[in-house]
Amino acid sequence: MSASAPGTTFIVLMLPFLAALIAPWLTRRLGHNAAWLLALAPVAIFIHFLGFSADVADGGVVTGGFQWVPSYNVSFSWLIDGLSLTFALLISGIGALIILYSGGYLKGHDQLGRFFSFMLLFMGAMLGVVISDSFLMLFVYWELTSITSFLLIGFDHTREASRRAAIQALVVTGGGGLALLAGLLVIWNITGVSQVSLLLSYGDELRGSPFYLLALFLVLGGAFSKSAQFPLHFWLPNAMEAPTPVSAYLHSATMVKAGVYLLMRLNPVLGDTVWWETILPVFGGATLIVGTLLAIRQTDLKLMLAYTTVSSLGLLVMLTGFGSEHAIAAAVLYLVAHSLFKGGLFMVAGLIDHEAGTRDVTKLGGLRKAMPVTFIAALAGAISMAGLPPFLGFLAKEEIYYALWATDPWSLAFVAIAVIGNGLMFVIGFAVALKPFLGPEVKTPKHAHEGPALLWLGPLTLGAAALVAALISPVTHRFISSPMASAIAGAPETVTISVIPHMGPALILSLVTIAFGIIAYRMLDRLRAGMAWLLSAIGWGPDRGFDQFISGAVRLSVAVTRLVQPGRLDVYMTVTFLMIAAALIGPMAWYGEWPAMPVWPEDAQFHELVVAAIVLIGLAAVIYARDRLTAIVSLGIQGFAVALIFMLFGAPDLSFTQFMVETLAVVILALVMTRLKLHASDHRPTLQKIIDMSVAIACGGGFTLYLLAVTQQPFNTALSDFFAAYSKIVAHGANVVNVIIVDFRGTDTLGEIAVVMVTGLAILSLIRIRTPRSTVADNDPDRRPGQAVVESREVR
Amino acid sequence: MRTVIFRSIAPYLTSLMVLFSIFVLLRGHNEPGGGFIGGLIAASALAIYGIACGVAPVRRAIYFHPMAIAAFGLFMSGMAGVLSVFASVPYMSGLWIYPHLFGVEIPLSSVLVFDVGVYLVVVGAISSIALALEERDRD
C-alpha cells in the first residue's frame, strides 16, 4: 500500500463538482461550444487516474484520505485498486465523450447549462461511489447518484412521463440505497471496520456471523435496485424518458453498474457461500432472459437498447455470483465491453433520432448513404455486442462460455440461459445497427444527413476503443482485466484470452449462439408480434405494480390520517388528556408504588395559607363561571398563584416567566375565544360534563400523585452543585438559570427557540387558512387561480 | 376595550414595558431575567398596544413582519454558536471580550448575542400570533 499525492486525488474528486458550478455560466457565454471546455474536467480526471495504472497493474493498492468525523471513526478516504481504477477510467473517459455529445445533442436548448451541470454532478458522484473506501462516503455518493439521476431523468420536466419516470427511479434506487446503508451498518457492526480496504481480512468472520444473511439481503437490496435486476428492472426502461446522453451515460455505461460494482467489491467478503452462489445467478439469469425477451418486443431504438442493458446487467450479476476464476474474468471483460458498446449504441440511437426525427425502427431505413460515419460506429457497437471478433465483446463472450461450461444440470441450465440471452442480444444489436441503415430509403420526419463531429465523435471513439482493446489484448489484460479480476476475487488472477479463437466448447457455444441469432434476426417481426401478444395476455407487470404500490401507499396514509385525525377538536383533547392520565397513573398502579400522603405542615406561614386559598378560590371561580371569558380570566388566577409559590420558594426566574406566560395565555385565549364564535356560556349535556370532569380529575390527580412521588425521592444534588460551582467561574454569570439556558445548554435552547419559531409559523398559517376567501382574494395580488384549489384541499 | 384612557396610556405603557424588557434581557446573566422573559414582556407590551390602538399601528411601529424578527433571532442565535469557529473551540462555546468604553469595562459575549436572539424569537413568534388573532378580531 502506498499513499501518493492525497491532495491531488482529492482535488480530482472535487473537479466535476467545480465544473458543475461554472457550467451554467460558461454555457451562457459560449453556448454549446462550452462542451469543449467542460470536457477538460473528465479528461483531467482520466489522465490523473491513468497515472495509477502502472502501479495498480503490479498489484499495488493506493489508499488515501483524511479523518472526517473522528469521534465516530468516519473518514473521507479512497481506495484505488484494479476494480475502482477501471471504473474510474470508464466514468471519466466515457464522461468526456458524453459531455461533448451533449453539447451537440442539446445544441440551442434553453437549459443546456443546467444539463451540463447535472451531468458533471453525476460524474462526480459516480466517481465517488467507485473510489470510496469508507462506507458512509460510499453511501453518500451512492444516494447522490440516485438524486442526480432523478434530476436528469426529469430534465424535460414539463412532460408528465418524464416526471413519473424520475420519481419511479428515485423511489426504487433511493429505497435500495437505504437498504444498502442498513446493510453496510450491519457489516460495520459485525466486523467493527468501516473501510472497504480493511474489510478484506474479515471475510470468514462475516460469513460465519449469524447476521450474515441480514447483511447479504440488505446489500443485495441496494445492488439489485440500482442495477435493475428483475423484478425491480422496470425503472430502467422508463428512465429512457431522459435525453439520450443521459441514457448513454447513466443508464447503460455507468450508474446502473454501481450495483454490479458493489457486488464485485464485496465478493471477497460476502461471496463464496451457498446463498451468494444461488441468489445471484438465479436473479441474474432471470433478469438476462426477461430483459432480452422484453427487448424483442420494442420498436423504439432506445427502449430496445434499454432492455438489453437490463439483461446485460443480469448477465454480470450472474457471472459475479458464480465467483469462479473464469466467471470473474468474464464479468470483467463483459463489463468493460458493455460500457463501450452500449454507450456507443445509445449515442448512435440518439444521433439517428436527432438527424432523422424518429427512433422507431419500423419507420427507419436506408440511412447508410446519408449517415455513413454513424453507420460505421453502429456496426462497431453491434459487432461487439453480438460477440463477434475482433472486438472486445468477443473476448467477453468466449470467456463467459468458458466459465459456464460444465456438464452438471445446474451449469447446463445457465449455459442455455446464456446462449439464449446472447443470441437475442445479437438480434437486438444488429436490429439497431442494420435496420435503420440498410434496405430501401424510407421517408423520415426530418431529412437525414450526417450529424456534426460533436455527435459522432463519441460512438466512433468507443467503437475504436473496443476494437483496439481486443487487438492488443495482452496490454488490456495487464492494465485492466487482470488487476480488476484480482480485486474482485480478492487474490491475484491473470486473464489471458485473446482474439484468436481456440477450438473447444466455448467456440462451439459461440457458433450455436450466432446461428440462433441469425435465425431469430430473420424472424424478428414474428417474434415481436408473439411477445406483444404474450405481454398483453399477461396484462400485468412490475411497472403497473409500482403504480399500484404508490396508490396503495397513498390510500393507506389517507386511511391512517382519517383514523387519527377525525377533525374533531374535542376528540383530540379527550384522547390527549386520557393518555397523559394513563401515563401518569398507569405505572404507579401497575407496580403498586403509590406515594405516601403528605402530612399537614406544622409550621405553615400565614402568607402561604393565603396563596393556597387563592388557588382554591380561583378553582371555584373557574368551575362556577357563568361565561367562558370569566372562566379564562379565573384560570389566570390559578396561574398567578402558582407564580407566587415559585417566588416564595426561591425561583424568581421561574416566577417571572410564569407571570408573563399567564398574562399572555389569558390574552391569547380570550382572543381565540372571540374568534371561535362560540356560545358565551357552556351548553354541554350532563353526561358530557361528567365525562370531561372525570378526565380532568384523572389528569390533575395523576400530576399530583406524580409530583408527590418525585419529591419523596432523595434529591441528587450533583447537577445543582456543578452549576452552582461553575456558573460564575466558567460562564461568567451569577444567574445559574440563565447561564444554563444560554451557555451550558445553549444548543438545547437553540432547538427550543426553533420550536417556538415553527410553532408560531404553524399557528399563523392556521389562522390564515380560516380567513374567508373573499377578504384574502381582494387584497392579495399574488393570488393565482390555481392556488384556490390547493388551499381548499388543505382546509379539508 | 378602546376607552380613551386606555388608548392614551397604552403607547407610554408599551414603551416603558419594551424598555423594561430590554433591561431584563441585559441583566439576565447575573440576576433574574434573560432573553426568554424579556421577550415575553415585550410581546405582551405589543399585545397591549394592539388591543388599545389596533393592529395596523403596531405593524407600522415594529416595521418588520414579526415572523421576520423571529427568524432573524433564530439566525442570530445559531450564528452566535458559529463564532466559536474563529476561536477553534467547539460549537456554542461562550466567548467573552471586555472592551473599555469611556473608562467603563463592558463585558460582551457570544452568549449575549445568543440571548438577544432568544429574545427576538420569543417577541416575534408570540406577537405574530397575537397580532394575527387581533386582526381578525377587528373585522
Nearest to B32 among A735, A750, A761 (CB): A735
In sequence order, the β-bridge partners of residue A78 are A64, A132
ipTM: 0.90
Query: Is pLDDT above 90 for B33?
Result: no
A732 and B91: CB-CB below 8 Å? no
Percent of chain A exceeding pLDDT 70 equals: 96
In this prediction, residue A776 has a pLDDT band, given cuts at 50, 70 and 90, of very low
Closest residue in B to A772 (Cα–Cα):
B136
Residues of A in contact with B24 (CB under 8 A): 656
Closest residue in A to B72 (Cα–Cα):
A757
Q: Cα separations (Å) of A68 from A71, A84, A325, A422, B82?
A: 9, 21, 37, 46, 19
Write out the three cell numbers for A169. 427511479
Nearest Cα of chain B lies from the Cα of A754 at a distance, in angstroms, of 7
A674 and B137: CB-CB below 8 Å? yes
Nearest Cα of chain B lies from the Cα of A70 at a distance, in angstroms, of 14
d(CA A735, CA B34): 9
d(CA A535, CA A237): 16
Nearest to B96 among A675, A732, A738 (CB): A732
Least confident segment among A12-26, A615-629, B125-139: B125-139
Q: Name which of B133, B134, B138 to mutate to probe chain A: the one with the most chain A Cβ atoms within 10 A of its Cβ.
A: B133
Query: Is pLDDT above 90 for B54?
Result: no
Q: Which residues of A lie closer than 8 Å to B, measured between beta carbons?
A: 652-653, 656-657, 660-661, 663-664, 667-668, 671-672, 674-675, 731-735, 737-739, 741-743, 746-747, 749-750, 753-754, 756-757, 759-761, 763-764, 767-768, 771, 775
Nearest to A664 among B40, B81, B96 (CB): B40
In this prediction, residue B118 has a pLDDT band, given cuts at 50, 70 and 90, of very high
Write the pLDDT tens digit of every residue in A478-503: 888 888 888 888 888 888 777 777 77
Query: Given CB atoms, is B22 within the 8 Å cutoff of chain A?
Result: no
Q: Is the separation of the CB atoms in B137 and A674 below 8 Å?
A: yes
HEC per residue, A699-720: HHHHHHHHHHHHHCCCCCCHHH
HEC per residue, A133-192: CEHHHHHHHHHHHHHHHHHHHCCCCCCHHHHHHHHHHHHHHHHHHHHHHHHHHHHHHHHC
Answer positive or negative: Cα dihedral of A251, A61, A499, A467. positive
Q: Beta-carbon neighbour count of residue B136 at 10 Å? A: 18
In this prediction, residue B51 has a pLDDT band, given cuts at 50, 70 and 90, of confident
Peptide linkage before A390 cis (omega within 30 of 0): yes
Query: Is pLDDT above 70 for A65?
Result: yes
- Beta-carbon contacts of B75 under 8 Å, excluding residues fewer than 6 positions away, are B117
- Beta-carbon contacts of A20 under 8 Å, excluding residues fewer than 6 positions away, are A116, A117, A118, A120, A121, A124
Q: Is the separation of the CB atoms in A400 and A319 below 8 Å?
A: yes
Which 8-state DSSP code applies to residue A360? Answer: B
Q: Specify the 3-state DSSP secondary structure of A79.
A: strand
Answer positive or negative: Cα dihedral of A673, A674, A678, A679. positive
Nearest Cα of chain A lies from the Cα of B110 at a distance, in angstroms, of 9
Nearest to B47 among A667, A747, A763 (CB): A667
Nearest to B37 among A660, A749, A767 (CB): A660
Closest residue in A to B17 (Cα–Cα):
A660
Q: Name which of A676, A753, A764 to mutate to probe chain B: the one with the most chain B Cβ atoms within 10 A of its Cβ.
A: A753
Average pLDDT along chain A: 85
Nearest to B125 among A653, A671, A757 (CB): A757
Q: Is the separation of the CB atoms in B126 and B43 below 8 Å?
A: yes
d(CA A13, CA A6): 11
Nearest Cα of chain A lies from the Cα of B86 at a distance, in angstroms, of 18
Write the pLDDT tens digit of every residue in A214-269: 999 999 999 999 888 888 888 888 888 888 888 888 888 888 889 999 999 888 88
Write out the three cell numbers for A563. 383514523
d(CA A190, CA A184): 10
d(CA B91, CA B78): 10
pLDDT, residue A180, reads 92
Closest residue in A to B33 (Cα–Cα):
A653
- Beta-carbon contacts of A732 under 8 Å, excluding residues fewer than 6 positions away, are B29, B94, B96, B107, B109
B37 and A653: CB-CB below 8 Å? yes
B47 and A756: CB-CB below 8 Å? no
d(CA A587, CA A592): 8
Q: Cα separations (Å) of A229 from A151, A233, A347, A396, A536?
A: 22, 5, 24, 21, 22
Residues of A in contact with B137 (CB under 8 A): 671, 674-675
Write out the three cell numbers for A662. 399567564
d(CA A455, CA A100): 7
pLDDT, residue B2, reads 67
Nearest Cα of chain B lies from the Cα of A670 at a distance, in angstroms, of 10
Write out the three cell numbers for A679. 356560545
d(CA A292, CA A313): 11
> At B105, which helix (H) or strand (E)?
strand B104-105
Write out the three cell numbers for A559. 386511511
Among A751, A720, A749, A717, CA closest to A736: A720
Mean pLDDT over A348-377 rounds to 84
Peptide linkage before B32 cis (omega within 30 of 0): no
d(CA A204, CA A268): 10
Write the pLDDT tens digit of every residue in A611-650: 889 989 988 988 888 888 888 888 888 888 989 988 888 8
Query: Is pLDDT above 90 for A122?
Result: yes
Query: Is pLDDT above 70 for A791?
Result: no
Amino acid identity of A704?
T
Q: Cα separations (Å) of A676 from A85, A670, A671, A774?
A: 68, 10, 9, 19
In this prediction, residue A790 has a pLDDT band, given cuts at 50, 70 and 90, of very low
In sequence order, the β-bridge partners of residue A195 are A134
A668 and B129: CB-CB below 8 Å? yes
Nearest Cα of chain B lies from the Cα of A265 at a distance, in angstroms, of 38
Chain B (48-87) residues lying within 8 Å, Cβ to Cβ, of chain A: 51, 67, 70-71, 73-74, 77-78, 81
Query: Given CB atoms, is B105 within the 8 Å cutoff of chain A?
Result: no
Write the pLDDT tens digit of every residue in B63-77: 899 999 999 999 999
Q: Is the separation of the CB atoms in A141 and A128 below 8 Å?
A: yes
Alpha-carbon Rg for chain B, nearest whole angstrom, is: 17
Query: Given CB atoms, is B38 within the 8 Å cutoff of chain A?
Result: no
Nearest Cα of chain A lies from the Cα of B60 at a distance, in angstroms, of 18
Q: For residues A327-349, b (16+ Cβ closer than 10 Å) or e, as one string? A: bbbbbbbbbbbbbbbbbbbbbbb
Residues of B in contact with A763 (CB under 8 A): 129, 132
B35 and A742: CB-CB below 8 Å? yes
Alpha-carbon Rg for chain A, nearest whole angstrom, is: 35
Average pLDDT along chain B: 86
B78 and A672: CB-CB below 8 Å? no
Query: Is pLDDT above 80 for A781?
Result: no
In this prediction, residue B117 has a pLDDT band, given cuts at 50, 70 and 90, of very high
pLDDT, residue B66, reads 92
d(CA A349, CA A354): 9
Write out the three cell numbers for A584. 401518569
Write out the three cell numbers for A608. 402561604
Residues of B in contact with A775 (CB under 8 A): 139
d(CA A503, CA A277): 29
pLDDT, residue A755, reads 93
pLDDT, residue A5, reads 55
Residues of A in contact with B28 (CB under 8 A): 735, 738, 742
Nearest to B41 among A660, A737, A775 (CB): A660
Nearest to A757 among B34, B71, B107 (CB): B71
Q: How are beta strands B108-109 and A74-80 bridged, if at all?
A: unpaired
Write out the three cell numbers for A118. 447535472
Write out the three cell numbers for A765. 398559517
Q: Is the separation of the CB atoms in A395 and A401 below 8 Å?
A: no
Least confident segment among A397-406, A566-575, A770-779: A770-779
Answer positive or negative: Cα dihedral of A218, A223, A229, A235. positive
Write the pLDDT tens digit of every residue in A455-468: 888 888 888 888 88
Closest residue in B to A757 (Cα–Cα):
B125
d(CA B23, CA B25): 5
Residues of B in contact with A664 (CB under 8 A): 40, 43-44, 47, 126, 130
Query: Given CB atoms, is B113 within the 8 Å cutoff of chain A?
Result: no
Q: Specify the 3-state DSSP secondary structure of B109.
A: strand
Query: Given CB atoms, is B42 within the 8 Å cutoff of chain A?
Result: no
Q: Specify the 3-state DSSP secondary structure of A401.
A: helix
B29 and A733: CB-CB below 8 Å? yes
Query: Is pLDDT above 80 for A774?
Result: no
Place of cell 419500423: A362
Residues of B in contact with A734 (CB under 8 A): 29-31
d(CA A315, CA A334): 9
Mean pLDDT over A391-407 rounds to 84
Query: Is pLDDT above 60 for A780?
Result: no
Nearest Cα of chain A lies from the Cα of B33 at a distance, in angstroms, of 6
Q: Name which of B46, B79, B105, B121 to mutate to probe chain A: the one with the most chain A Cβ atoms within 10 A of its Cβ.
A: B121
